[in-house]
Structure 1
Amino acid sequence: MKRPDIWAVSLVAGLTVALLHPSPALAAEAVVLSKGHTDAVDVHYEGGALKLKVKDDTISPAVVRDPADVTFQVLPAAETLVPDLPSFAFLGTPGSKVWMLPQVQEQELLWPGWNTTTLKSGVFTGDKVQLSLVGVDGPGDVTLFDTNSLGTPSIKFRSNDGLPDKLDVPVHTHAHAGWVFSATGAYTLKFQADATLTDGTKLSTGPVDYRFVVGDLQPGGGDVELTVSGMPDGDQQPGTSVTLQAVQTPRGSLTKYQWFSRKPGEQDYTAIEGETGVSYTFTATRALNGAEYLVKLYDGSKVVATSAPSWLWVAFPDPGSSAAKTVTATINASDGALVISVDPENRAVTLPAAALNATGDRWESVGALKPVTVTDTRSAKPGWTASGQVADGFRTGDGKTFAGSYLGWTPSITTQGDQQGVVAGPVSAPYVSGQPHTGLGDNAALASAPNGKGLGTAQLDAELKLSVPTDTDAGTYTGTLTLTAI
């Protein structure tokens, strides 16, 4: 299995800013995780105790869950064949079927790993903890392994040659491996974390159950995957009717739902009053641009499944608008003019290919905005503000999109005249759910000159930062950053 190509972004101009990650909230509801990134074995040290949790990055913002509330699903698409290579003989007979969650991310599969990044240095002897697989109950064998740069496998945990298997993991580690199951069905994997404090105190979580289902989920027991269909691709025109549909897999007898929304700038999801059916219909408006929707399935008062969020993107009202906005002003020549310009050779900026960030929950890329020049010859010296916006977002040639708000910038002043007082604009961070007015999806200041301090020529620049969720489709995305000066 191959890791999907990571995309690069091209634009007319751009800038960057530091991303502010909120601490993952603690969630308490039963969920099935079947696609996206998760730190399945997430080690914490809290209140003098060592604990195992699950960091769920399949939603944004990420949440921390109790392993007892999580079912990890290895989808049927994970089926593969044991390669005919001696180094992989530990997986079984060449050509036999296995179900593998690979070491590198596949967008259509779950990508579980282990994580000690919350643990601080100097707390544990050797700055490490020991992770152990102490038991496996299921219809087949379970093996976790990784490979080096030459493709040589290294077994981390293996159930068919005796357990427990132990692995020393340094603090500040975020790692992934291939998870291989030899048969379909339900498994319980028992993981344990042990460590010794620097004062000699020994800590242990004891065995903690992790539930996996390989293949299709079976009816009953709350083993239901809930998804949302009907969210249109790309930007919608204001006034468009949108109908979302809750889809159970497998289809069961439960019919009690609740739809939730989270509008831009809101911290938490809010239940939509009266929307308790299998579908939800609403009208798209510009105020809903960037809103998130999810649905929960109930058995009585108990939540048995929660969908991943779906995002709504709504275009500006003018259906004839192009990717770049144009601002036209008439200036009396005798009074001078205010001009913002970019040299022709600097009009295209290509960011480096995006890479997974340290916490494993975002694809990120950092680059530089090429010089932008603002010249003010107006004798009245009224001052000015230069700003930018990626109003129409980014898209690929085959129609995949994400919003311009996922691009942020940190402005800077390269040069300015001796009599000028040009000030760089504030940092505008890439959009993160719950943090309003971030990114370049809305107008953001690049620089400004106060009254009496703008006359002359200033050269502006900025650092760009792109940060998108890990479930963003692979591809090469292009967007237009429109720069204005007023």
Structure 2
Amino acid sequence: MNNRTRARTFGSALAGAVLLAGVVLAPPAASAQDRVVLTKGHTDAVDVHYADGELSLKVHDDTVSPAVIRDPADVTFQVLPQAAIEVPADPRYSFLGAVGATVWVLPQTQDPDLLWPGWNTTTLNSGVFTGDKVKLSLVGVDGPGNVTLFGVNAFGDPLIRFRSDDGLPDAIDVPVHTHAHASWAFSAEGSYTLKFQADATLTNGTALTTGPVDYTFVVGELPATGPDVSLSISGMADEYQPGDTVTLNAVQSPQTELDHYHWFSRCQGADDFAVVPGEAGASYSFTATRELNACEYVAKLYDDDHNVVAASEPVSLWVAFPPDPVGPSQTITATIDESQGALVVSVNPDDRSVVLPPAQLSTGGDRWESNGELRPVTVTDTRAGQPGWSVSGQIPGDFTSSGGQSFSSSFLGWTPQVTSQGTGQGAVAGPPVAPYLVGTPGTGLATSNLLASAPNGAGRGTAQLSAGLALSLPTETAAGTYTATLTLTAI
């Protein structure tokens, strides 16, 4: 990539936003054992929260579905080797180092092959803090090189937010309801500790602070964290009778001195594995019941720092029906009204804003283009009759800006996705919808388009939906920040 192209990728000219309407629970908090390394996808690395009179910093992890809230101490942010670029021959970017020097950059606009961290105050309410803002500071950096966070304006000029090599702390004021991204630049490979802090003043004059909070970034390859060992599960029989004892054993290969395990299970209707409370040994015993039929089990091995060293492949439990009764017996018949139950489509009220990356000129220079991701949409069908369902989306109005400019929502298209679903639910993503282009078919999301569906005789359970978003605008579109509302309908 030449220097001129790299400088252009830092630029910005137009930003769009899509708001979704719906109600579900907020993302759950990850448990302390869920230490993770984030390498690709979107995350609000510095996520500001206020609850019970205290200000705190969390990590909103969107790299998993559904998203979870994590403690920064449980997260390592990896800047992959492919983030390396050369400093361009553009004096505006001299703060990155000498021309041609290598820096590792997580860009302001999303690259699907890299991590996309940002900061977020969308959980904070108006009227709570003086000036409806918090102060976000980078108060310290410990690592092998310099760290700079910067944005780029419509003219390609860098706007430095935080910079470690000219003295810290650096601070910016962040309004509530803000979700923002910048380029994160590191001058050398290795492990860094970035200390962020949030401060605010309540409207009654009370000063709040999180104090310095450590964030761990590793630039380049991760150091080895433990022995090279694999894990498998032995002891699972082909079939059990109700009441039989099931004993599963975690087997290391080769055997090590590590002896800290956790067991996880996932039964029908569940999307994710859940930890089995109290089971931290190499063996796990329980009683087989028909309710556990088709459940899956996984074992994980941990080192002394509670990092996952190895995880087994899932094994499945099969439990036979009880034998036919003999002697005096009774037959009990239960009837389920197939008309009962409900179909519900919802989105997380704290995760319903889609902020598209600043638009870039197309390769041909004739369009403004930006790509993003729809926030998770949850469909839950509890109807016994399983009549099937369909979920559609439409932006009935135009995108508008605070300055009164607008453009048609037909310029936004999507590629629907089913990111997870229950066993046998049968959900299928709808067809891609292209943004409107003069002279070509397609009306974008100005009309109702199918996001996903489940056929008659299926659909029961919970499915997670999403969509890749594609914005394509004429170059004469006025610069500004535009918003519109996507309406979801389930039938």
| Shorter-chain TM band | 0.5 to 0.7
The alpha-carbon distance between structure 1 residues 205 and 95, as it changes in their structure 2 partners (threshold 3 A), is same
The alpha-carbon distance between structure 1 residues 78 and 296, as it changes in their structure 2 partners (threshold 3 A), is farther
RMSD, aligned α-carbons: 5.0
TM-score using structure 1 length? 0.53
1:358 is aligned with what amino acid?
S
CA contact (8 A) 2:259 2:281 kept: no
2:373 counterpart (363, 377, 381) = 363
Identity, in percent, stands at 54
Structure 2 residue aligned with 1:298: 302
2: CA distance between counterparts of 1:36 and 1:274? 31
CA contact (8 A) 1:192 1:204 kept: yes
Structure 1 residue aligned with 2:70: 65
Aligned ranges 1:319-338 → 2 under 5 Å: none
Structure 1 residue 215: deviation in Å? 0.8
2: CA distance between counterparts of 1:465 and 1:69? 35
Structure 2 residue aligned with 1:269: 273
2: CA distance between counterparts of 1:386 and 1:66? 40
CA contact (8 A) 2:43 2:117 kept: yes
CA contact (8 A) 1:21 1:432 kept: no
The alpha-carbon distance between structure 1 residues 263 and 114, as it changes in their structure 2 partners (threshold 3 A), is farther
2: CA distance between counterparts of 1:113 and 1:94? 27
- Structure 2 residue runs of 5 or longer lacking an equivalent are 1-5, 11-19, 232-255, 284-292, 315-350, 357-371, 376-384, 395-415, 431-446, 453-463, 471-491
1:180 is aligned with what amino acid?
A
Structure 2 residue aligned with 1:107: 112
1:157 counterpart (122, 141, 162) = 162
CA contact (8 A) 1:265 1:433 kept: no
1:51 counterpart (56, 81, 97) = 56
1: CA distance between counterparts of 2:63 and 2:428? 23
1: CA distance between counterparts of 2:228 and 2:121? 28
Structure 2 residue aligned with 1:375: none
1: CA distance between counterparts of 2:66 and 2:386? 32
Structure 2 residue aligned with 1:131: 136
The alpha-carbon distance between structure 1 residues 132 and 217, as it changes in their structure 2 partners (threshold 3 A), is same
Structure 1 residue 292: deviation in Å? 10
CA contact (8 A) 2:354 2:374 kept: no
2: CA distance between counterparts of 1:306 and 1:105? 30
Aligned ranges 1:202-281 → 2 under 5 Å: 202-220=207-225, 260=264, 262=266, 265-266=269-270, 268-270=272-274
The alpha-carbon distance between structure 1 residues 21 and 109, as it changes in their structure 2 partners (threshold 3 A), is farther
Secondary structure of the structure 2 residue equivalent to 1:126:
helix
Higher relative contact order (CA 8 A, sep 6+): 1
Structure 2 residue aligned with 1:240: none
Secondary structure of the structure 1 residue equivalent to 2:95:
helix
Secondary structure of the structure 1 residue equivalent to 2:165:
helix
2:391 is aligned with what amino acid?
G
Structure 1 residue 409: deviation in Å? 2.9
Structure 1 residue 433: deviation in Å? 5.4
2:374 is aligned with what amino acid?
E
CA contact (8 A) 1:408 1:439 kept: no
Residue correspondences, number: 313
Instruction: Confirm whether residue 26 of structure 1 aligns to residue 29 of structure 2.
Output: yes
2: CA distance between counterparts of 1:80 and 1:275? 46
Structure 1 residue 276: deviation in Å? 7.8
The alpha-carbon distance between structure 1 residues 270 and 45, as it changes in their structure 2 partners (threshold 3 A), is closer
Cα deviations by residue, 1:432-476 (Å, 9 ceiling, x for unpaired): 758899895399xxxxxxxxxxxxxxxxx9664468558x799xx
1: CA distance between counterparts of 2:270 and 2:469? 25
The alpha-carbon distance between structure 1 residues 194 and 462, as it changes in their structure 2 partners (threshold 3 A), is same
CA contact (8 A) 1:33 1:73 kept: yes
CA contact (8 A) 1:101 1:179 kept: yes
TM-score using structure 2 length? 0.53
The alpha-carbon distance between structure 1 residues 41 and 201, as it changes in their structure 2 partners (threshold 3 A), is same
Secondary structure of the structure 1 residue equivalent to 2:73:
helix
Structure 1 residue aligned with 2:195: 190
